Amino acid sequence: MQDADAFDAVYRRESEMVLLFLARRTLDPELALELTAETFAQAFRDRRSFRGSSAPEERAWLLTIARRQFAGFVRRGVVERKALASLGATVPQMHEDDLQEIEDRAGLAELRRTIGNELARLSGDQREALRLRVVEERSYDEVARTLGVSEPTARARVSRGLRALAQGLEHSSRSGA
Amino acid sequence: MRILDELGDELSRAAHDAEGRRGAGQARSLRRTVLFALLGLLTATGVAVAAAAIIKRGDPLPTPRGSDVPPELTPRAGTAVLNGLNVTAPDGGPVWDVRTSRSRTGAVCATVGQVFDGELGIVGLDGTFHALRAGAADACSVAQQDGFTLAGARGFRGRSGTTGITVVSGVAGRGVRTVRVAAAGSSRPLQLGPGRAFLAIFTGQPDAVRPRVTATLAGGGSRTLRFADTGQTLAADPSGGAPWAVEATPARRPDLRCVVGNRTKGPDSPTPSRYLGLSTAQVPVRCGPRGTAFVATQRFVPYVPRVGVPYAFFWGPNVSRTIVWGATGGAQKVTVLGASAKVAVDRATGAFMAVLPGQVDPRRLSVRIGNRTLRGTTAVGRRGQRLATPPVPAWRSVASVLAAQSQPDPFRLIAGTVEEGADAEDVAGGPAWSIRTWKARIDARTNAPRGYGRDLLCFAVGQRGTGNSLREPLDGGRTRAVGAGQPDGRCNGPDWLATHPAVPAVLTYVDDPGALEPKPVRVVVAGLLGDNVRSAELLGAGAPRALALGPHGSFLLVLDPRFAGADLRVRQVRATGAVRTSRSEVSEAACRIGSPPVRVADPDGGPTWIAGIGTTSASIVQSIRRPSQRGPSPKTAPCRYVGRLVGGRLASVADGRAQVYPGPGSAAVGGTGANFLSPGHPVIVEVRSAADQTQRDTGPTTPAQIARRTLPGRTTITGIALKSVTSITLRTPRDVRTLVPDPRSGVFLAVYDGPFYGGEIVATSHQRNGRTVVKRVPLSRR
């Protein structure tokens, strides 16, 4: 991927894969599109540092950048747009049918249920705390008020639940239609 | 996807601009033609003797309830025949054989077991023989002409988590001439009995043995079934547990070839710990010039990865090992010198690996490849860069690392604050129950916020034990300590308690959670309401009962078992005169049984497993609704569940506990998945595979596990199919079996003992129009 034409080819081949990869991690189509845009912009910016020669290597490189983008988002809570800005590109507005298509192709509805399945395995107090915090994304204060416990208790339940959930997911794999 | 085309146009324009080749003719429009590939969601000799003199005879193992076994899986009386295969097991005991029979629908059934006094059964871990009655079978299937009618690799438990045996058995079709089994590096032919059954036994569990059976057909050709065998080249771990997979991996330069290895999942891999996101151990990628032998030798010791510190390979808190890996210059013999080690060589790529105990000093080792001897590390990095000689870290245990780093319980006891509440008599005749309260602070080492207001108020309930201890009853007559300073104390902030009604804890204990019908023996209701409550009473257990409030408004009642499942509430009158009522947490609301469920017998004879379509309550429906979803919220929604049937209700049973919990073990809430089905995708397959964490150190805990030698933990395969699907054939790491989806709901369910650690599940759905659709579900994940 040494020039813009080669970049076009890589984008044609891999953009959907990157978008779905990010959608399945963020569970949010719009956010996934933004991260996809920044991923490709950064790939283009850093194209000369890429030493691979095959499609699998290009894919692995893109996914590495995508993972980094996602990790950065989780850490900071915002999408970094440095590469997009330096390239002078913007992210197009997403319409409702785009949103639905990504939802469907990435199987987000099913994925949300899968997470619900894992939640259902936990003890009652952990499950409720995790559902409110992770699925509904409520604040700890809200979680505490909803559950009828103090905020530190809510935090502790979420913390314990996450530990138990991760252990459960270690041995679980699922497949949708 | 239109939005990706738009983004592509924008990026392409910007990229070409950036290259200074801007122009209408040069701007590329990216029209996508390539469809996607979905990624996974996220990233576990003895000598046989007749031994009649030392084997005791116990009761026959109970057969499943008739309602839990469909007719196609129920043997017909008078059709059973032993095949006289009489295979000796490496762990001794009576010989093993296969009993074949015919089901009520004419299918071929098979049951594997040991022969004692001419009868088929199992000699349990306590040396007692229990007969397997002819009215039940391990599996049944429609007779096949070519290939296998039945085949499986079933693990039987040994006295520790990683030992035991794998029994490979099955029934060959009429068109099969010979059957061979390959495992543990060797292959041998198997005898066929009068019922065309075959049998072979290996040391170790199926995930480590990874057997393969091949049928040679009379008409030419062959059929092969792999059980947990992924075709990888495996190097043995010195523990005898989960092996290591070694393989070639792409290099960054065409003149290089690279090798990587990682430990597969198993009962002892990854190393048990309480850490999040734990993966199996991996060695770094090492490379060398094509056609030339290279080697890397290194000792790895456990460590705890730190957030934000990147790693090129993952070892993590896994057990210490000294590992030699690399590639041969051709298909040559590889020998490790300086220590005893078996080397696994991938003949296709030349990649090799030998795994030694972590105490072995890598500086003492050298490797003989053909007529060359290599020492230390001659390999280079993935880009061809030279590597510094890796330091040799001092050996250390996993326990030492975890002890230094372990995440503490969030609530830290404040010494001198423990107070005793009133005792309550045990309605089941056991030791008296007691409630204990104490104050705690949030441990600053957890993620909880620092400096949180006042000290927390905590409580725990248990039965009085020796000294001043409190004990919670577990399964198999075991108990565990509860109380101040123990995990799982229930804590709340006094400020919060001053303004909110606390939720009561309701614990339903049963006589035997491993029984087909566990009987509730008591319902313990306890709570801590805070210091601002004047009086309180319990509602929902007959007439309102006044609660005797102890320290910090704590209370304890031990109720008659008839109140199991009752809608219990606590009404409290606060110091201000305000009256508040709180209800116990009811997870049952997540999914309630709707139409009659699919029923499957538990491998240990425990509560029946059920799966089906149910309804989710309005409050749950509301809570899982996405903000973007429009329109009024429905009152209820369909859900699909898996759980156990206890007292006619949907319940779950936690490993090792003596309690049952209302509601499903797992559920797809808010929808059944049926709307995802189409003729091209006629079935959804969901696999839940979990080890029983409570038995890692304790060994079997229930009489059924000891008698049947079943593996701890369970794997359930469930899902939903289109109405046009008449049957689903599941090929798993353990066996091949055919399920008939429920004609009303399309739901199906299979339950196996023990977790599946690797390989894949292949589900072939057979449709009414004769079409079949194959779905593969990989089980391996690092």
Residue extents of the structural domains in chain B: 2-54, 66-226, 233-405, 411-581, 592-778
Per-residue pLDDT tens over the stretch B527-580: 999 988 999 999 999 999 999 999 999 999 999 999 988 888 899 999 999 998
Question: Which residues in chain A have Cβ-Cβ distances shorter than 8 Å to B3?
Answer: 33, 92, 94-95, 98, 101-102
Most confident residue range from A118-132, B11-25, B93-107: B93-107
| Interior/surface letters B296-307, b for 16+ CB within 10 angstroms, e for the rest | bbbbbbbeebee
pLDDT of residue B322: 97
What mean pLDDT is predicted for residues A96-123? 66
* Residue B36 touches chain A, beta carbons under 8 Å: yes
Distance, in angstroms, between A43 CA and closest chain B CA? 11
Strands B419-424, B244-249: pairing kind? unpaired
Distance separating alpha carbons of residues A93 and A98, to the nearest angstrom:
10
> Which ipTM was obtained for this model?
0.72
Given a cut of 50, whether residue A47 has pLDDT beyond it is yes
Phi/psi for B34 (5° steps) reads: -95, 130
The proportion of chain B whose per-residue pLDDT surpasses 70, expressed as a percent, equals: 84
pLDDT band at B628 (very low <50, low <70, confident <90, very high): low
Distance separating alpha carbons of residues B667 and B688, to the nearest angstrom:
11
Spacing of C-alpha A93 from chain mean position: 19
CA dihedral (A115, A121, A126, A129) in degrees, to 10, reads 30
Between the alpha carbon of residue A65 and those of residues A5, A10, B252, B574, the distances in Å are 20, 14, 17, 57
pLDDT of residue B53: 40
Chain A contact probe: residue of B16, B36, B455, B730 with most A CBs at under 10 A: B36
Residues 602-641 of chain B with CB under 8 A from chain A are 623-624, 628
Cβ burial, residue B743 (10 Å; 0-12/13-18/19+): exposed
Question: Which residues in chain B have Cβ-Cβ distances shorter than 8 Å to A161?
Answer: none
Per-residue pLDDT tens over the stretch B666-698: 777 667 888 888 888 899 888 887 776 555 555
Per-residue pLDDT tens over the stretch B581-609: 887 755 556 678 888 899 999 998 999 99
End-to-end CA distance of chain A: 35
Which residues make Cβ contacts (< 8 Å) with residue B577, sequence separation at least 6? none
Distance, in angstroms, between A77 CA and closest chain B CA? 16
Given a cut of 90, whether residue B611 has pLDDT beyond it is yes
Distance, in angstroms, between B671 CA and closest chain A CA? 8
Question: Which residues in chain B have Cβ-Cβ distances shorter than 8 Å to A118?
Answer: 666
pLDDT of residue B33: 22
pLDDT band at B159 (very low <50, low <70, confident <90, very high): low
**Two tokens, residue B231:** 């075709």
Strand, coil or helix: B192: coil
> Count of CB contacts below 8 A, A vs B?
263
- SS3 sequence of B349-402: CCEEEEEEECCCCHHHCEEEECCEEEECCCCECCCCCCCCCCCCCCCCCHHHHH
Distance, in angstroms, between B625 CA and closest chain A CA? 9
Which residues make Cβ contacts (< 8 Å) with residue B449, sequence separation at least 6? A151, A152, A155, B442
Distance, in angstroms, between A124 CA and closest chain B CA? 6
Domain ranges of chain A: 4-104, 107-175
CB contact under 8 A, B491 and A156: yes
Question: Which residues in chain B have Cβ-Cβ distances shorter than 8 Å to A99?
Answer: 628
Per-residue pLDDT tens over the stretch B215-239: 999 988 999 998 887 778 889 899 8
Distance separating alpha carbons of residues B586 and B619, to the nearest angstrom:
12
pLDDT of residue A134: 59
Question: Which residues in chain A have Cβ-Cβ distances shorter than 8 Å to B629?
Answer: none
CA dihedral (B480, B486, B489, B494) in degrees, to 10, reads 150
What mean pLDDT is predicted for residues B303-329? 79
Question: Which residues in chain A have Cβ-Cβ distances shorter than 8 Å to B41?
Answer: 24, 111, 114, 173-174
pLDDT of residue B383: 85
User: A85 to chain B: nearest residue by CA?
Assistant: B14
Residue A131 carries which DSSP code? I
Q: Is the dihedral of CA A7, A13, A16, A22 positive or negative?
A: negative
**Two tokens, residue B545:** 């009962």
Distance separating alpha carbons of residues B412 and B485, to the nearest angstrom:
7
Distance, in angstroms, between B87 CA and closest chain A CA? 33
pLDDT band at B46 (very low <50, low <70, confident <90, very high): very low
The CATH number, out of the four listed (1.10.10.10, 3.40.50.720, 3.20.20.80, 3.20.190.10), of the domain defined by the range A107-175: 1.10.10.10
Phi/psi for B772 (5° steps) reads: -120, 145
pLDDT band at B448 (very low <50, low <70, confident <90, very high): very low
H or E stretch at B753: strand B747-753
Most confident residue range from B359-373, B495-509, B650-664: B359-373
**Two tokens, residue B15:** 């990229």
Per-residue pLDDT tens over the stretch B198-209: 999 998 888 888
Q: Under CATH, what is the fold of the domain B592-778? A: Immunoglobulin-like (2.60.40)
Q: Is A95 or A21 the better-scoring residue by pLDDT?
A: A21
Chain A contact probe: residue of B6, B7, B450, B685 with most A CBs at under 10 A: B7
pLDDT of residue B44: 20
Distance, in angstroms, between A42 CA and closest chain B CA? 11
Strands B128-131, B56-57: pairing kind? parallel
What mean pLDDT is predicted for residues A31-51? 85
**Two tokens, residue B400:** 């030492």
Given a cut of 60, whether residue A140 has pLDDT beyond it is yes
What mean pLDDT is predicted for residues B55-75? 87
CB contact under 8 A, A152 and B491: yes
**Two tokens, residue B182:** 């390959």
pLDDT band at B149 (very low <50, low <70, confident <90, very high): very high
Residues 760-779 of chain B with CB under 8 A from chain A are 775-779
Q: Is B400 or B618 the better-scoring residue by pLDDT?
A: B400
Given a cut of 90, whether residue A23 has pLDDT beyond it is no
Residue B342 carries which DSSP code? P
CB contact under 8 A, B277 and A166: yes
pLDDT of residue B620: 61
Q: Are B167 and B153 in contact (CB under 8 A)?
A: yes
Residues 670-689 of chain B with CB under 8 A from chain A are 670-671, 673, 676-678, 681-689
pLDDT band at B771 (very low <50, low <70, confident <90, very high): very high
Scan for tokens 């919220």, then name that residue: B633
Question: Which residues in chain A have Cβ-Cβ distances shorter than 8 Å to B781?
Answer: 173
Given a cut of 80, whether residue B245 has pLDDT beyond it is yes
Which residue, B225, B87, B80, is CA-closest to B146? B225
